[in-house]
Amino acid sequence: MKRFFILVALIVPALLQAQTKLTETVIDDFSARVAAHYQLPHDSITGYIAEQLTRSGNAGLDVDSTVFDLKKDLTALDAALKFLYQYSDCNRQRFIANLRSMNLQSNNIFPIATYTANKYKNDIKALLDDKKDFLSTYAGPVTGKKPPASISEVAAANQAAANASSAVDATPGSSNTEIDSNTNTAATAPAADLRNWEVHPLFQVRKPEQLLEMYGQGNVIQHDAVNLAGDKEGEAYLIYPDTDNELEVQFDGDNGNILTFSHYPSKWKSPYGIKAGDPLEKLIKVNGRPFKINAFEWTDGGKVTSWQGGSLDGKGVVIVLKANNTGDPKLYDQVTGDKIIRSDMPALKKLDIIIESVAFKAAQ
């Protein structure tokens, strides 16, 4: 009997350390449970995971698409496990309890707990420090989501919104008419915007006709696509042209679609949570480390040239920055000319650097 206990004492730790990968069955179960709970209103676990995936750059081109099908992106799945472990204060028993609350199959909980605890055992302090920083700005769960819409669903939603808006405008004394108490006159309240602002379906589009179907012929125009030097680079299509929600779609053959945002504020749910108008500090946080930029007032000025191995490296994100505060020549001269600068350069903090334009590329 004594030998048996000695053998168990030797084998169990070895088994714990041996859990270095997850089986397909375990991955499928975890992926399905996350997707199911992401659809529940106010689910704190998946809300936390989704927001951390977005901020870390692990959310992919669209956080909803990623969260609804983690098994297709094992890097994102690993990150989701890491953030669930972080949510659980890097406490194995609390982590197990949270997995149970997500209704995973009982025989899959131990492998996930062991795998995750082993994988991040040397990162506990960093994870807890990051959680403290994260919670200082986190507003709460983003849940109750539906699976990403298809092209036809976007078209139907936008058409229904257009029909509803037309009906309200044409109805005398409709519900969006209120009485201004100060002037005793009728005031028309703006109708709720029910259009679909998801970006993900636009990466599925293959023909201009599909854009017209989705957004309406009056909301899509063709124009010349130009690069930063002003040279023509083929044809592109603008959705909601000349508005804050203007979005350029360029079909780039085998290289996939390119979506470019250069107006703000915008209602589009952009990939990685990055939008035109966002500050440099947010971009550094999403990338997870400083990166390199072309200096301003020169060829391709303000364009990010290297993500330096950060979360956005290799993700097809092209960003051009601009400085809003250029009034101090001595300060601005430090970041202009024919040179490469780093995003953590002290002078940039005083120049109010924001994203001027951001393009996302997705392979077909």
Q: Which of 34-43, 120-129, 224-233, 240-249 has the lowest mean pLDDT?
A: 224-233
**What is the C-alpha radius of gyration for the chain, rounded to an integer number of angstroms?**
25
CA 132 to chain centre: 21
Q: Which of 10-14, 109-113, 281-285 has the lowest mean pLDDT?
A: 10-14
**pLDDT tens profile 175-192:** 555 555 555 655 555 567
- With 60 as the cut, is the pLDDT of residue 64 above it? yes
Report pLDDT digits (tens) over 216-232.
Answer: 999 999 998 877 666 77
What integer pLDDT is reported at residue 364 of this predicted model?
Answer: 47
Report phi then psi at 350, rounded to 5: -95, 0
Pairing label, strands 353-362, 257-261 = antiparallel
pLDDT at 274: 87
Report whether 205 contacts 194 (CB < 8 A).
Answer: no
pLDDT (mean) for 301-316:
92
- Report the C-alpha gap between 236 and 69 in whole angstroms: 30
In order of 18, 21, 164, 208, 231, the CA distances from 57 in angstroms are 29, 23, 37, 30, 31
Q: Is the pLDDT of residue 200 over 80?
A: yes
Q: Give percent of the chain above pLDDT 90.
A: 60
Give the tens place of pLDDT for each residue, 108-131: 999 999 999 999 999 999 999 999
pLDDT tens-digit profile of 125-179?
Answer: 999 999 999 898 888 888 998 888 889 999 999 999 888 877 665 555 555 555 5
The verdict on whether omega for the bond into residue 148 sits within 30 degrees of 0, i.e. cis, is no
Measured CA to CA, the distance from residue 235 to residue 220 in angstroms comes to 13
pTM: 0.71
